[in-house]
Amino acid sequence: MQLFESFSLRDVTFKNRIGVSPMCEYSSEDGFATDWHLVHLGSRAVGGAGLILTEAAAVTADGRISPNDLGLYRDEHVEMLARINAFMEAQGAVPGIQLSHSGRKGASPRPWDELPPKVAVADGGWEPSAPSAIPFSDASWTPSELTETRIAELVRAFAASAKRALAAGFRVIELHGAHGYLIHEFLSPLANRRTDRYGGSFENRIRFAREVTQAVRAVWPERLPLFFRVSATDWLADGWTIEDSIALARVLREDGVDLIDASSGGIVPVAPIPVGPLYQAPFAERIRAEAGIATAAVGLITTAAEAQSLVAEGRADLVLLARELLRQPYWPLHVARELGRDLTWPAQYARAKPR
């Protein structure tokens, strides 16, 4: 495998193995995509990435991380997203959306706002809900514990958003089961203290993730891939582990998931995470080898050599970049040249192509 070889899942073919990882832009009102999203996502499509994933798109209004997050909980959200997707596809990129619910981490301010760590109801916030009434931090909202009736409603909300994603022209859905948001909160014993059928044992804690996956797969066409982002480890004793992630991946594969996006952390404010180049890549490698499912590697991938090695050595099927693509939207075009590939640049930019 090579970084600039195509890659197919179901009936979708990615022109290369470089994807744009979901990155919150905090630039929406009532969940609507804006011209910022058109330019932000569109420029990375012009830059040559094979897959463009939106930021986390909330399946309910109270599932947003901040009041300024993207959403797909209203039919009216579809129109602008469809416009963005049409532009990205015209550049040869596959448009994908990450569906999410923030759980206990909802009603948070934007990172650059000088506000308390929770947004008051009077300022557009809300009381978050979660598997258990355990706050993310001492300064965060204490969430209300979800009833089984409300859990069933949220499963239906994910499916409804998947239908809207199809109407908007997305060709990949990624379910956000990582970074301390709702699905991850059910998975991790650090956030899930329930004593009903959604808590306790491994089988019970993965129940919500499976129900969401099955509901989305039931409305998402068989021809289109379904991804699942997992925090492969909580980096803490008594938390979710890489072994748990491998076991979950095996189950989700049978439920119709095609690729595991292997990230980590986020369930607690502070954890001993050994951050460094490719620090999360071993998770993608182990899940791929031991669960028999395609994976995406993420986390401080910045150079051509790093990305190429992950794919060429069979450690992951895709590489997803975040901050590096904020710094360099046209990173794939430049990296291709480093790796001896002569990619066709957009006609409008061809006169600037290095000779």
**Measured between alpha carbons, how far is residue 24 from residues 20, 56, 59 in Å?**
12, 6, 15
State the catalytic residue, choosing from 181, 198, 330, 349.
Answer: 181
Q: Which amino acid makes up residue 243?
A: E
Mean pLDDT rounded to a whole number for the chain:
96
pLDDT value at position 117? 82
Task: Report residue 129's pLDDT band, with 50, 70 and 90 as the boundaries.
Answer: very high
Contact 268, 19 (CB under 8 A): no
- pLDDT tens-place string over residues 230-264: 999 999 999 999 999 999 999 999 999 999 999 99
For residue 96, the cross-strand partners are 53, 172
Q: Look at residue 156 and tell me whether its pLDDT is greater than 90.
A: yes
Q: Which amino acid is at 301?
A: I
Under 8 Å between Cβ of 101 and 183: yes
* Alpha carbon distance 291, 249 (integer Å): 6
Q: How confident is the model at residue 70 (pLDDT cuts 50, 70, 90)?
A: very high
Quick one: angle between helices 242-254 and 207-219, nearest 10?
30
Q: What is the pLDDT of residues 93-120, one digit of tens each?
A: 999 999 999 999 999 999 998 777 889 9
Q: Are strands 318-321 and 7-9 parallel, antiparallel or unpaired?
A: unpaired
Distance CA 198, CA 4 (A): 42
| Integer Cα distance of 80 and 88 in angstroms | 13
Q: How far apart are CA 284 and CA 261, in angstroms?
A: 7
| 350 phi/psi in degrees, rounded to 5 | -60, -30
Give the 3-state secondary structure of residue 144.
Answer: strand
Confidence of residue 355 (pLDDT cuts 50, 70, 90): confident
Its pTM surpasses 0.75:
yes
Rounded Cα distance between 19 and 98, Å, is: 13
SS3 state of residue 76: helix
Give 162-175 pLDDT, tens digit per residue: 999 999 999 999 99
Report the first-to-last Cα separation within the chain, whole angstroms.
27
The DSSP line for 154-221 is HHHHHHHHHHHHHHHT-SEEEEEE-TTSHHHHHH-TTT----STTSSSHHHHTHHHHHHHHHHHHHS-
Range 108-114 contact pairs with CB under 8 angstroms and sequence separation of 24 or more: 108/65, 108/66, 108/140, 109/66, 110/26, 110/66, 110/68, 111/26
Phi first, then psi: give them for residue 296, nearest 5 degrees.
-115, 135
Measured over the CA atoms of residue 312, residue 313, residue 316 and residue 320, the dihedral's sign is negative
Structure tokens at 38: 């058109």
Q: For residues 23 and 323, what is the distance between their CA atoms, to the nearest angstrom?
A: 9
Q: Tokens representing 329? A: 């939207």
20: its two tokens: 């744009």
Say which amino acid occupies 98: Q
Question: What backbone phi and psi angles, to 5 degrees, belong to 306?
Answer: -65, -50
> Which DSSP helix (H) or strand (E) runs through 149?
helix 148-168
Could you tell me the pLDDT band of residue 45, with boundaries at 50, 70 and 90? Answer: very high
Q: Of 100, 107, 97, which is closest to residue 60 (Cα–Cα)?
A: 100
Contacts with 17 (C-beta within 8 Å, 6 or more apart), sequence order = 1, 2, 3, 4, 5, 7, 50, 311, 317, 318, 319
Judge whether residue 79 has pLDDT over 90. yes
Establish whether 181 is a catalytic residue.
yes
